Structure 1
Amino acid sequence: MPDIKKILGSFLVGGAVLAGLGAHAARAADDEQALMSRGAYLATAADCIACHTRPGGKSFAGGLKISTPKGDVISTNITPDAEHGIGSYTEADFEKALRHGVRKDGAYLYPVMPYVSYAGLTDQDVKALYTWFMHGVRPVAEKPPETQLNFPSNIRLSMMAWNTLAGREKQETGDSATYDKLRRGHYLATALAHCGTCHTPRNFMLVEKQDRYLAGAPLEGWYAPNITPSKTGGIGDWSQDDLVAYLKTGHAKGRSQAAGPMGEAVEHSTSHLTDEDLQALAAFIRQVPSYDDDMDRQARDSFGKAIDNSDLRSGELTRIDDLGEMSGARIYDGNCAACHGQDGAGTADQYAPSLYANSVVGSARPDNLIMAIVYGVNRTTPDGHAGMPGFGRNSDVQRLSNEEIARLVNYVTATFGSGDHHVTAEQVGSARTDHLEKTVSHVSVKTSSDAH
C-alpha cells in the first residue's frame, strides 16, 4: 500500500516549490515594471522627445533639424528598431552613447546630444532608461537624413578634442531617488534636465562657461535668460513657489510665461515631474552662484504699471490703405488690446498675461518679445493650454511686417517695460528663422504592456 504521508508530503513540497517560483516570478515582474516606470519618468525629465521627434513625426524617430553655429544637426532615431534605431544596442552600447557621446559603430556624436550632462547619470538610471527605450517605446522603421556639416565640423573625430576641452559632469552614485533635496535638485538640473545646455553662455569653441553657469545665452533667435539668484539680472526676486509654478504650468503670475524652447521644455518635461522633484530643482537653482547680467540692471519683472485706459483711436486720423503709417500704439490697439487690454493688464485669469511686471517685456534684450510676437505661443500642460497667435505669419502669409513688429515691440517696451529699445525692421528680420515651429504635443510615456 502506498505511503499516503510520503505522497502528501511530496505534493506539499512540490507545491511549496511552485509557490516559491510563482512568487519569485511575480517579484521579478514587479521589479521589471518598476524599472520600466522609472525609465519612462527619467526620459521625461531628460526631455528626450523634444530633440528626437520632428514636427509631425513619430515619437523618438528623429529627423529634427537642430540649428548650431556650425550648421544643422539632424537628430537620430532612438526607437528600438534594429535597422534604423538603437534596437541592436546592448546596454553597454547605450551607456557609451548616453554618457560618452560615442555611437555603437565608434563614431562620435555631436554635442547637441547633451552627453556631457548625461555623464552624471547613475548606473541604475542608465539601466532604467535602456530598459524603457528597448521595451516601452514603439520601434519606427524610419531613417532620418544624415547630418551634413561643413569642414572641419563634418569630421566627427574632431569631437575627441572638443570632449577634452568641454569636460563633463561627474557620475553620481547610489540610488538617485533617495538623494536629499539639494542633491536631487543638482542631479536633475545638471544631469537629467541639463539646464545649462541652454542657459549657460559658451565660448568660441562652444564649450559652456562654467564660471557663468545659468547666466543666460542666445538660442535660435530666442534668449535663454539669466536664471541665477541675481536680484537685478536673474530671478533673485522669485520665490521658490514662483519657480515651481513656472516649471509646472509655464506661468508665474507677475513674473513670466514660457514660450519658444522653454515652453516646449515645460510642456514635454517639467510639467510632468513630481512636486517633490520640482521643489528640489527650484531649491537647487535658487542657490547657485549669482551672476549679475551685463545688460539687465533691474529685475526684469519689476517694470511698468497699468496705463490710463484712454481711447487710443482719438486724435490723428490714419489712412487705412497704408498700414506702414500706423504707430506702435495703433498697431497694439488693433492686434493686442483685445486680449492684453488697452491698459496692458491682461485678462482677469491671466490667460492673456499682464504686460507690466512681466520679465519678457522688462528685459533689456528684446529677443524673446520679438520671437513671441512673430511665432506666437502654443503650450499645453496638465494645468491647461496657453496660446497666442503668431503675428509674423498667418498660415503662409505674413500678417505684420518687420517694420510694424519693430514699432509694436518699441511701443510695448516703452509703455509697459524698461523703455524704447529702438528695435529696427532689420533686427526683426534677422530674428525670423526658416525652421518650422515644433508642433509635437506631449506623448505620454508608456510601459511595454501598452506600447506594442
Structure 2
Amino acid sequence: MPDFKTVFWSFLVGGTVLGGLSAHAARAADVDQDVMNRGAYLATAADCVACHTKQGGTPFAGGLKIATPMGDIISTNITPDPDHGIGKYSEHDFEQALRRGKRRDGENLYPVMPYVSYAGMTDQDIHALYVWFMHGVKPVAETPPATQLSFPSNIRLTLSGWNMLAGSEKQETGDSATYDTLRRGKYLATALEHCGTCHTPRNVMLMEKSDQYLAGSPLAGWYAPNITPSKTGGIGDWSEDDIVQYLRTGRVKGKSQAAGPMGEAVEHSTSHLTDADLHALAAFIRQVKPMEDDADHQPRDGFGKANDAPDIRSGELTRIDNLSHKSPANLFDANCAACHGQNGAGTVDQYAPSLYKNSAVGAGRPDNLIMTILMGVNRTTADGHASMPAFGSTGDVQRLDDEEVASLVNYVSKTFGNGSYNVTADQVAQVRKNNTPH
C-alpha cells in the first residue's frame, strides 16, 4: 500500500503533520518536541493506524470494518477533530479509553480495542501519546458509520462484566525507555505491540487464555501461529536474530514470510522500531513458556525439499495429454511455477520464496496457505516491497474457483509441505465468504 504508507509517514516526519491547518501547526509548535517524538514512536509501536484507518482512507480517521464473532465492528475516528474525533477528550478521558476501555461519555468500548493490553502502559507514555494525538495528528472531519451489532452484543453495558472477568495487564511504572532488555521486551510485547491479542487462544467468552500465552489463535481467516519457543509447535528453532529480521523485514529465508495482519503489523509497526527494541522484543519472546501444539509436531519450517519431478514445460510434453486443465500439477504450473519455480525453490534472491522450508506450507493447519492464495501478499518495508497476486479474485473477476484453490492447497502441501491437508472446495468457499470485503 505505497500510497497509504506515504500519507501515513508524512504524519510522522518531525513529529508533526506536514501541510496541516495553520492553527493546528501553531499549537504543535508550542509542545515539547521530545514528548511529541516519543508519542509518535509509541503510536507506531502500538500500531494504532492498523485498526483506525480504512483501506485508502486518511490515517486515524477510522472506518475500518473489523470482523469479530460478535459481528463487524467499525473503528472510530481518533484524530483531534472536536466533533468527529477525540478533540474534546481530556488526558484523563484518553487514559480511560486506553487503559479501561471507556469512552468519554462513559460507554464501554468493544474489546477489539486492545485496552486489556494497553492497561500496562506507563503514565509517562500515556501522556506522550495524548500530546502527539492532540498536536501531531491533523484533525479529520469525518464520522465513520456506527457499529451495528445484534442483541445482546449491542448492549455495551454487558461488557462491564466481561471486563471484570477478563482482567488486564498490570500497569508498569517508571520510565519505560530505561528498562533493562527483558523488561523492555515484555513491555513491548504485552502492552504496546499487544502480541497476545492475536497470538493467544481465547475461551468461549473471547477472553485470552493466560496460561497459553502466544500459543496461536485463529484471526480473520488467517491463523496467528504459536510463537512460543517450543521446538516442535512454535519457533524454538529461530534465533534472536531471526526474530529481529522477521520483525524488521517481514521475512526470514527458509523460515517464514509475513502476510495478512502480520504483514501489516510489520509494515506499519515493527519495521520502524529501533534495533534495541527489536532485540528486546525478540529476547522476551524467546524466554516465554514453550507451548506444544495440537497441529504442529515438528517445526513448521522444517518440511519439504525441491520437487525433482520433470518440468511439464521442458520437453516432456506428453505429460500434458494426461493432465486435465484443473489437475493439481497444471494448476501449479499455470499459477505458481513462474515465480516459485517448478521445483518450488523460489527465485535466487528469495523475493519469491521457496515453498519448502516454508512455515505457511509446512504448518499443520491450512489456514494461512489458503488465505495467501486467496488474498495474496502486499508488504512494504525498508527492505523493499513484497507482492504476490490474490488468486481469489482480480477486481470483480474470480481467478481461481473454490475447487481449484482447494486442489492447489493440497498439491502444494503434499509436494512441498507436510502433506496432511485434505482441504475441500466447501471449506475454501466458507473462507472466501467470511473474508471478502463487503
- The amino acid of 1:372's aligned partner reads T
Query: How far off its partner does 1:422 sit?
Result: 1.4
Contact 1:376 1:390 (C-alpha < 8 Å) held by counterparts: yes
Contact 1:78 1:86 (C-alpha < 8 Å) held by counterparts: yes
Given the superposition, is the C-alpha separation of residues 373 and 193 from structure 1 closer, same or farther in structure 2, using an over 3 Å criterion?
A: same
Q: How does 1:120-139 map to 2 (within 5 A)?
A: 120-139=120-139
- The amino acid of 1:265's aligned partner reads A
Query: How far off its partner does 1:409 sit?
Result: 0.7
Partner of 2:22: none
Per-residue CA distance 1:162-200 (angstroms, 9 max, x = gap): 001100000000000000000000000000000000000
- The amino acid of 1:215's aligned partner reads A
Separation in 1, partners of 2:213, 2:434? 30
Q: Which moved more, 1:134-143 or 1:416-425?
A: 416-425
Partner of 1:71: 71
Query: How far off its partner does 1:310 sit?
Result: 1.5
Contact 2:373 2:390 (C-alpha < 8 Å) held by counterparts: yes
Given the superposition, is the C-alpha separation of residues 318 and 158 from structure 1 closer, same or farther in structure 2, using an over 3 Å criterion?
A: farther
Given the superposition, is the C-alpha separation of residues 269 and 81 from structure 1 closer, same or farther in structure 2, using an over 3 Å criterion?
A: same
Q: How does 1:264-343 map to 2 (within 5 A)?
A: 264-308=264-308, 310-313=310-313, 314=316, 315-318=318-321, 323=325, 326-343=326-343
Given the superposition, is the C-alpha separation of residues 49 and 29 from structure 1 closer, same or farther in structure 2, using an over 3 Å criterion?
A: closer
Separation in 1, partners of 2:407, 2:246? 29
| 3-state secondary structure, aligned to 1:349 | coil
Separation in 2, partners of 1:144, 1:356? 43
Contact 2:101 2:108 (C-alpha < 8 Å) held by counterparts: yes
Q: How does 1:110-125 map to 2 (within 5 A)?
A: 110-125=110-125
Partner of 2:257: 257
- The amino acid of 1:95's aligned partner reads E
Query: How far off its partner does 1:281 sit?
Result: 0.3
Given the superposition, is the C-alpha separation of residues 433 and 380 from structure 1 closer, same or farther in structure 2, using an over 3 Å criterion?
A: farther
Partner of 1:41: 41
Contact 2:375 2:391 (C-alpha < 8 Å) held by counterparts: yes
Query: How far off its partner does 1:361 sit?
Result: 0.3
Separation in 1, partners of 2:404, 2:307? 22
Given the superposition, is the C-alpha separation of residues 74 and 381 from structure 1 closer, same or farther in structure 2, using an over 3 Å criterion?
A: same
Contact 1:221 1:433 (C-alpha < 8 Å) held by counterparts: no
Contact 1:80 1:87 (C-alpha < 8 Å) held by counterparts: yes
- Answering whether residue 422 of structure 2 is matched by residue 422 of structure 1, we say yes
TM-score relative to the length of structure 1: 0.88
Could you tell me which runs of 5 or more consecutive residues in structure 1 were left unpaired when the two chains were aligned: 1-27, 439-452
Q: Which moved more, 1:37-46 or 1:310-319?
A: 310-319
Partner of 1:232: 232
Per-residue CA distance 1:200-229 (angstroms, 9 max, x = gap): 000000000001000000011100000000
Contact 2:356 2:416 (C-alpha < 8 Å) held by counterparts: yes
Contact 2:221 2:435 (C-alpha < 8 Å) held by counterparts: no
Query: How far off its partner does 1:31 sit?
Result: 7.5
Contact 1:411 1:420 (C-alpha < 8 Å) held by counterparts: no
Separation in 2, partners of 1:245, 1:233? 21
| 3-state secondary structure, aligned to 1:206 | coil
Query: How far off its partner does 1:317 sit?
Result: 3.9
Separation in 1, partners of 2:378, 2:105? 39
Query: How far off its partner does 1:51 sit?
Result: 0.1
Partner of 1:350: 350
Given the superposition, is the C-alpha separation of residues 365 and 267 from structure 1 closer, same or farther in structure 2, using an over 3 Å criterion?
A: same
Structure with more relative contact order (C-alpha pairs < 8 Å, separation 6 or more)? 1
Separation in 1, partners of 2:358, 2:435? 27
Per-residue CA distance 1:43-77 (angstroms, 9 max, x = gap): 00000000000111111010111111010111000
Contact 2:214 2:226 (C-alpha < 8 Å) held by counterparts: yes
Query: How far off its partner does 1:159 sit?
Result: 0.7
TM-score relative to the length of structure 2: 0.91
Aligned length: 408
| 3-state secondary structure, aligned to 1:378 | strand
Query: How far off its partner does 1:312 sit?
Result: 2.4
Q: How does 1:95-244 map to 2 (within 5 A)?
A: 95-244=95-244
Given the superposition, is the C-alpha separation of residues 160 and 365 from structure 1 closer, same or farther in structure 2, using an over 3 Å criterion?
A: same
Quote the RMSD (CA, aligned, Å). Answer: 1.7
Partner of 2:413: 413
| 3-state secondary structure, aligned to 1:380 | strand
- The amino acid of 1:50's aligned partner reads A
Per-residue CA distance 1:257-283 (angstroms, 9 max, x = gap): 000000000001000000110000000
Given the superposition, is the C-alpha separation of residues 262 and 156 from structure 1 closer, same or farther in structure 2, using an over 3 Å criterion?
A: same
- The amino acid of 1:343's aligned partner reads N
Separation in 1, partners of 2:78, 2:132? 12
Could you tell me which runs of 5 or more consecutive residues in structure 2 were left unpaired when the two chains were aligned: 1-27
